[in-house]
């Protein structure tokens, strides 16, 4: 069996759902992990190297200073993996007899490929959102990524949008693959739907515009007292969203559950008729990849009401599996909610189509098989 090492920023990390899934499921869960920070001991016995735990020697400080000057002259990010840390990573890969490396998040992958891309182990990068939008706007990261692409064996993207966004900066890899995060379609499946039940799932952050979702629902649902919106997730916009509900006097129809365990998220999506998410770029340029919550909603047969943002149009066939409006088109978004409340949509037909699309295109076991085949082929070359 191919031996994989997964590089990630933090391990374990409860919010990195898909990274955790890859660690636990790719190649039957036999992967080892190299994390930037976290814990070096895994209770399951998995081999883990935490880079922040690597103890340097007296020469590392001098080498880091030299590397910083070099990177400044080359117009690269100031930090590079070097010295004792680099050697410890190489030793770890040899100890674990690693055949191939998968770097979760493209910016981390660029750093890794640039540093150890010459040791004879194929390296793949996986772009998921922030790494292929806001981060890549930095000229220094563009230059680092160009260097890394010359050394990397291949690149995964969760959406074609991210691949196209890197191409705008001239960053193209001949071995590129579009593989969304996916969802367990046996677990996320429709249950008996509760009429006029709306759900939104995700971090309450700027690029998801939760305030627009809450305000739009309040404006349209006031005349439909049986309609409810359940907001699942935490984040910096939570209090602003609560304030909107209090101001509108809609506490009986809008609830905030905060972060919820996996099975509770699944339960709410299974019972919901509609899923809401008004994604738009943050002022700094952060954008979605292919939102996992929308994939889960489709698998549960929810009618998705969202925006033509990033990779979302790749998931939603308008009028068939959901409905989209332009980013920040609040009037159009409110009309979608109004139409949903008035019964204008053929919910049963759209629900069936959404479920069928998810089973065919987003089942994470099929996607895992595809990733494994690509990684194994590179390891055998």
**78-125 pLDDT, tens digit each:** 989 999 999 999 999 999 999 999 999 999 999 999 999 999 999 999
Residues 29 and 140 in one domain: yes
Residues 171 and 198 in one domain: no
| 188 within domain boundaries | no
pLDDT given for residue 381 in this prediction: 64
Share of the chain above pLDDT 90, in %: 93
Q: Please give the angle made by the CA atoms of 110, 114 and 118, to the nearest 5 degrees.
A: 135
Write out the residue range of the structural domain in which residue 322 sits: 194-361
| 203 within domain boundaries | yes
Residues 10 and 136 in one domain: yes
| 370 within domain boundaries | yes
> What is the average per-residue pLDDT within 324-340?
99
Q: How many domains does the chain have?
A: 2
pLDDT given for residue 169 in this prediction: 98
Residues 41 and 156 in one domain: yes
Q: How many CB atoms lie within 10 A of CB 231?
A: 25
Q: What is the CATH number of the domain that holds 42?
A: 3.40.50.2000
| 251 within domain boundaries | yes
Is the pLDDT higher at 341 or at 78? 341
Residues 265 and 144 in one domain: no
Q: What span, in angstroms and rounded, lies between the C-alpha atoms of 354 and 25?
A: 25
The 8-class DSSP code of residue 120 comes to: S
Residues 150 and 219 in one domain: no
pLDDT given for residue 12 in this prediction: 84
Q: Where are the alpha helices (DSSP H) in the chain?
A: 17-25, 58-74, 83-95, 106-116, 139-151, 160-167, 210-221, 238-248, 262-271, 292-299, 312-315, 330-342, 347-361, 364-379
Residues 343 and 209 in one domain: yes
| 189 within domain boundaries | no
Residues 177 and 209 in one domain: no
Residues 63 and 202 in one domain: no
Residues 374 and 251 in one domain: no
The 8-class DSSP code of residue 192 comes to: P
| 149 within domain boundaries | yes
pLDDT given for residue 42 in this prediction: 84
Residues 214 and 307 in one domain: yes
Residues 357 and 369 in one domain: no
> What is the average per-residue pLDDT within 344-353?
98
Q: Is the pLDDT of residue 337 over 90?
A: yes
Q: Is the pLDDT of residue 219 over 90?
A: yes
Q: Is the pLDDT of residue 175 over 90?
A: yes
Instruction: Specify the pTM.
Output: 0.95
| 349 backbone dihedrals φ, ψ, rounded to 5° | -65, -45
């Amino acid at each position: 069996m191919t031996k994989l090492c997964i590089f990630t920023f933090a391990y374990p990390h409860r919010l990195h759902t898909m990274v955790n899934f890859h660690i636990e499921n790719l190649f039957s869960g036999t992967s080892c992990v190299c994390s930037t920070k976290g814990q070096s001991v895994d209770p399951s016995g998995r081999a883990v190297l935490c880079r922040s735990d690597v103890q340097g020697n007296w020469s590392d400080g001098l080498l880091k200073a030299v590397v910083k000057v070099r990177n400044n002259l080359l117009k690269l990010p100031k930090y590079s993996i070097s010295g004792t840390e680099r050697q410890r990573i190489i030793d770890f890969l040899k100890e674990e007899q690693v055949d191939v490396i998968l770097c979760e998040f493209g910016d981390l992958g660029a750093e890794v490929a640039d540093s150890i891309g010459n040791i004879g182990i194929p390296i793949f990068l996986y772009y998921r959102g922030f790494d292929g939008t806001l981060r890549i706007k930095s000229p220094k990261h563009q230059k680092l990524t160009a260097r890394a692409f010359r050394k990397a064996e291949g690149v995964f993207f969760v959406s074609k949008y991210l691949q196209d966004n890197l191409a705008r900066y001239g960053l193209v890899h001949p071995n590129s693959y579009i593989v969304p995060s996916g969802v367990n379609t046996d677990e996320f499946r429709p249950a008996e739907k509760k009429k006029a039940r709306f759900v939104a799932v995700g971090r309450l952050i700027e690029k998801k515009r939760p305030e627009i979702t809450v305000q739009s629902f309040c404006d349209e649902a006031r005349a439909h007292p049986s309609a409810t919106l359940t907001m699942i997730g935490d984040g910096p916009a939570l209090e602003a969203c609560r304030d909107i509900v209090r101001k509108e006097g809609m506490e009986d129809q809008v609830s905030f559950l905060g972060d919820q365990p996996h099975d509770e998220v699944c339960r709410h999506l299974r019972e919901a008729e509609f899923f809401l998410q008004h994604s738009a770029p943050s002022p700094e340029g952060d954008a979605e990849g292919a939102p996992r919550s929308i994939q889960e909603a489709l698998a549960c047969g929810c009618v998705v009401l969202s925006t033509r943002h990033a990779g979302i149009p790749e998931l939603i066939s308008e009028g068939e599996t959901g409905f989209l409006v332009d980013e920040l088109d609040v009037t159009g978004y409110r009309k979608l909610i109004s139409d949903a409340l008035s019964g204008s949509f053929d919910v049963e037909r759209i629900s069936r189509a959404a479920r069928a699309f998810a089973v065919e295109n987003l089942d994470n076991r099929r996607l895992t098989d595809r990733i494994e085949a690509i990684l194994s082929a590179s390891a055998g070359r």
